[in-house]
Structure 1
Amino acid sequence: MDDVYDGCSSQEDLGTDEGWAEEDFIDDDDDGPVSGGAPSSAGAEAGPSSSGKADTWRVMGMEQIKKLQVEAISHVTSLTGCSKAKALALLVNYRWNDERVLSIMADKGLDALYESVGLPTEAPHPAPATSGSEEVTCNICCESVAPNKASSLAPDCSHIFCNDCWKQYLSVGLSEGKGSQLRCMGYKCGAPCDFDKVMALLKGTLEAKRYQEALLQSYVDDNNTARFCPSAPWCGNVIVVESDPVCEPECSCSTVFCFKCGRSPHSPCTCEMWTKWDEKISGDSETRSWIIANTKPCPKCTKPVEKNGGCNHVTCKCGASFCWLCGEQTGMTHTWKSIEGHTCGRYKDELDKKISEAARSHKRYMHYFERYKGHSDSHIREKGRRQELKDRIAERMESGVDARDYTWLQQALHQLITARGVLAPSYAFAFFFFGNDMYKDDFDASTNTRNQNLFEDQQAMLEAEVERLSDLAEKCIAALVAEEEDHAAVQSLRLEIINRTVSVESRIIHFYNMVQELLDQLQTCSAHIAMYKPQKNVKIN
């Protein structure tokens, strides 16, 4: 394999620890950021929540992430005196929390900090001196190569291997997703590879770009305070939270998501609730539960068989006969009470109880699912109405027919969409919080009933306000988009719509405060949700 160093005579020419600057994360061809991303919006911040907390976040592009990464590495290096390769290894292992790294160093010492992540604690031994013509033996392939075809990529050790073995090792590490945690190949060494030396070795190859991307992406993937926006198509932006990670930030591309789990917004559900609810509605687990309780697999063809009456002798369509109570295959001769040559010790009461419990559970699930689905469908319709209104307003303004301000109506539709987004997951919350095993040890029966009544009262009042506002908005939009606009009807509805919009938001705030009070009562565990942010001064796009 041709040498990639263009005449380098020793491993010192591969780069030094002093050469790591922020421009090192840019391709040599000046193509811009390694990972494409839209430029950041100017420090987008969320408003205060109904709980009084100020949840803030920033929307950033990859250029800004690169600067944060370099600053964190420089911070750790300056205070610990370690190499930048070691600083990178420490930050990756401690999820880019430089304060955590420095806290452990202050409490336990630098050696204990290194040992906690498998880094060598001793000072590096100098690499063995070699003359310009003396060959170096690689301890991996056992081949002897010229000094300029062998290198030591870790500044904290002196192990030297041939460049071909290094390249294969680095390529495998990158393909396995370990680009941010590349260590020396030496036996039980663990010294981290230096960025500059790895880049010099991989210069001009696809692996060099993959290595840059892996390091840059590590700041997001291995960081508790940063997450890529999950938009589709992908905008490339990164959300960096500055306070509580349990929040639902909005990217500059208008995508809103749960920062903690990366899913669509689901407050007032916790992430655990939403994960289980998604499994139910996506995996159809309730249907499977009913099938398990009400059918038995045929012992011959394994297809589910339902018994709709009669005795316990059941015959499948495939011709096989079996006992309904135990599922064992039997002969055909039987009476109402027994099957010839077969005895079964199970009690029928046990089966009846199992069936009734499954049926009751399925009925309860369907109660909450139908209402969840209703608000989810309305959420989609409200978005369609808002777009219809925006198109109509834009059309009238372009034609010069009308220049009136309809922000109040757009604000009402925005509030409706928000309210539907709260009401839909509120039924998933109720399904798990009341009468489910998730929090059964936290409340006795009377407390659970009282909490459920309180929750359902607040939920019903919010629903009533939402439906009233939805009806008014629908009438107003119908009058607005008609061929002959009924201006008088629109104006007569204006004040009532504004008042209902304020009322809906007030109900949402009261609803969230009540949910938080319920969560505060938990004794055996803790649960956190993204609190509602008032829609004051919301920008209407």
Structure 2
Amino acid sequence: MSSDDEIYMDSESEEEQEEEVEDQILDEKGLRADMKQQIAEIQSTVEVSEGVGRLLLQKHKWNKDSLTDKFYESPDRITFLIESNVHPKECVPVETGEGDCDICCETTELVGLSCNHRCCKECWNSYLTEKIKEGQSEIECMDSRCKLLLDDEKVEEFLTDSSIIATFHRLILNKYVSSNVFLKWCPGVDCGKAVKSTHCDPHLVTCTCGTGFCFYCTNEWHDPVNCHHMRLWMKKCGENAETATWIINNTKDCPKCLAQIEKNGGCNYIRCTNPACGYQFCWICMNSWSVHAQAWYNCSSFDQAAESNREKYRTNLDRYIFYYNRYRGHQQSLKLESKLIRKVEKKMDKMQEKGMSFSDVQCLRHAVDVLSVCRQTMMLTYVFAYYLDKNNHSLIFEANQKDLEMATEQLSGFLERELEDEDLTTLKQSVQDKSRYVEHRRKRLLDHCADGNEQNHWVFIE
């Protein structure tokens, strides 16, 4: 038995050890049913219509406990509703009858709310249509001084266009998901489903459309990097990825505002092109031009402090490029995964032609999946390392990272091998052993990162 097998045998699979997370994948119909169920629970407590119940829950970000606490703390039901900017029907009778509409000045039947701010149905329809087109699902009374919210039933009563009513329903559903910490839209293209979780902490979610993402930030799953550092990294990549190397080789930084400046002429007099700066300095010594002009000899003297500041900035940029290149390398390998799959499938066919069974060669296809997962992890470990400050625990992390990097490349090498002059049984065993070892090392690295988070071993730098 190989040492790789010995390491693997006593360890449970990663799926068995991961904490079970009960997530529900809901389509539009399921979301509406879920929303109505929560509203119904509040209706029985506060004794309001479905539309008012929805507004109350929306105000409390769909936290039923928060809403009921406020309700029972209030002196009475009427006070609670009025303070929530919704009126019960029994609170104030709604005036009816004809009159002059304050909006269009026509004499016609006027309708309104319990606040008795009234206008004609056509003006209500126009007002509500405009608000819905602006993306509002909680709409206040037309009177600018009144904060009373129209319940959903009243909005539908005043609207005449079925397409606008349908848009209003979609806005309600979108707001239900976006304001509820236990719900997230799947970011998959044209998916339209949402995930409901029992907790809002970062964890991997896999939608029925096949999209995997982080529940907390809805970006691609990024373990072991936390959501904050992942956002910083993506922003930094967007700003620096294509230009970092060119900047180092061809520019200097304005001594005042640190804007990158390219010298496009022979004169060493430079004026910063940043409109908010305009600093004038010498390209050689980087001092203010006025100081430089009065003391030319300083241009040939070495200024340790100034040079140290520039070196520090350049060192930081070099450090970013170091980690970015390794991040990018695994990212590019992942983009070539489909090519590797085709190559491995051809190799599997050849192995079967040489006498191996279909089940025997499936280890190669499994190894491709293992390699893909490990490259994804390796890619993210360089983001983790970029923000990680040096200490004894970071040295252990780097050792685990190095082991996984080496094992991942070895597995990749096995899959890329040509079959000529290969012992197929030995190749199959090597691929199986290395796949198991890589899975084991990946788990060890992620466990170490998770333990470090729990025990506050990591020190991060921004």
TM-score, with length taken from structure 1:
0.69
1:167 — aligned with what? 125
Structure 1 residue 283: deviation in Å?
A: 0.4
Q: What are the superposed Cα offsets for residues 110-159 of structure 1, whole Å, 9 maximum, x if unpaired?
A: 567657754458952111253xxxx1333x42735332xx333x5x5443
Number of residue-to-residue matches in the alignment:
434
Q: Is the 8 A contact 2:39 2:57 kept in 1?
A: yes
Greater relative contact order structure (CA < 8 Å, 6+ sep)? 1
Structure 1 residue 492: deviation in Å?
A: 3.2
Structure 1 residue 451: deviation in Å?
A: 1.5
Q: Which amino acid aligns with 2:107?
A: V
Structure 1 residue 413: deviation in Å?
A: 1.2
Residues 1:159 and 1:388: Cα distance change in structure 2 (over 3 Å): farther
Q: What are the superposed Cα offsets for residues 31-88 of structure 1, whole Å, 9 maximum, x if unpaired?
A: xxxxxxxxxxxxxxxx986875222322221111111111111121112112322211
Q: Distance in 2 between matches of 1:51 and 1:63?
A: 34
Q: Does 1:195 align with 2:116?
A: no
Match of 1:516 among 450, 453, 461: 450
Structure 1 residue 427: deviation in Å?
A: 0.8
Match of 1:213 among 154, 162, 170: 170
Q: Is the 8 A contact 1:369 1:427 kept in 2?
A: yes
Range with greater deviation from structure 2 (85-94 or 280-289) = 280-289
Structure 1 residue 424: deviation in Å?
A: 0.6
* Alignment map for 1:388-403 (pairs within 5 Å): 388-389=343-344
Match of 1:67 among 11, 33, 41: 33
Residues 1:506 and 1:78: Cα distance change in structure 2 (over 3 Å): same
2:100 — aligned with what? 137
2:326 — aligned with what? 371
Structure 1 residue 266: deviation in Å?
A: 1.6
Q: Does 1:498 align with 2:453?
A: no
Q: Which amino acid aligns with 2:49?
A: S
1:386 — aligned with what? 341
TM-score, with length taken from structure 2:
0.79
Q: Does 1:272 align with 2:206?
A: no
Q: Is the 8 A contact 2:183 2:196 kept in 1?
A: yes
Gaps of 5+ in 1: 1-46, 340-345, 435-447, 480-485, 527-541
Report the RMSD for the aligned CA atoms in angstroms. Answer: 4.2
Match of 1:235 among 191, 195, 220: 191
Residues 1:335 and 1:507: Cα distance change in structure 2 (over 3 Å): closer
Q: Distance in 2 between matches of 1:455 and 1:55?
A: 27
Q: Does 1:455 align with 2:397?
A: yes
Q: Distance in 2 between matches of 1:419 and 1:496?
A: 17
Q: Is the 8 A contact 1:49 1:55 kept in 2?
A: no
Q: What are the superposed Cα offsets for residues 424-465 of structure 1, whole Å, 9 maximum, x if unpaired?
A: 11111111122xxxxxxxxxxxxx420211110111122222
Q: Distance in 2 between matches of 1:58 and 1:322?
A: 61
Match of 1:361 among 316, 323, 326: 316
Q: Is the 8 A contact 2:214 2:222 kept in 1?
A: yes
Q: Which amino acid aligns with 1:364?
A: R
2:108 — aligned with what? 146
Q: What are the superposed Cα offsets for residues 298-341 of structure 1, whole Å, 9 maximum, x if unpaired?
A: 99xx99256999xxx923599x98545444468989743489xx
Q: Which amino acid aligns with 2:415?
A: A
* Alignment map for 1:396-475 (pairs within 5 Å): 404-405=358-359, 406-434=361-389, 448-475=390-417
2:161 — aligned with what? 204
For residue 249 of structure 1, give the secondary structure of its aligned residue in structure 2. strand
Residues 1:303 and 1:273: Cα distance change in structure 2 (over 3 Å): closer
Q: Is the 8 A contact 2:344 2:415 kept in 1?
A: no
Q: Distance in 1 between matches of 2:151 and 2:347?
A: 59
Q: Which amino acid aligns with 1:512?
A: L
For residue 161 of structure 1, give the secondary structure of its aligned residue in structure 2. strand
Q: Is the 8 A contact 1:297 1:305 kept in 2?
A: no
Range with greater deviation from structure 2 (60-69 or 242-251) = 242-251
Q: Distance in 1 between matches of 2:421 and 2:210?
A: 32
For residue 151 of structure 1, give the secondary structure of its aligned residue in structure 2. strand
2:304 — aligned with what? 349
Q: Distance in 2 between matches of 1:413 and 1:62?
A: 36
For residue 387 of structure 2, give the secondary structure of its aligned residue in structure 1. helix
1:181 — aligned with what? 138
Gaps of 5+ in 2: 1-12, 273-278
Q: Is the 8 A contact 1:50 1:513 kept in 2?
A: no
Residues 1:512 and 1:83: Cα distance change in structure 2 (over 3 Å): same
Q: Does 1:507 align with 2:441?
A: yes
Q: Distance in 2 between matches of 1:290 and 1:425?
A: 25
Identical-residue share of aligned pairs (%):
19
Q: Which amino acid aligns with 1:169?
A: Y
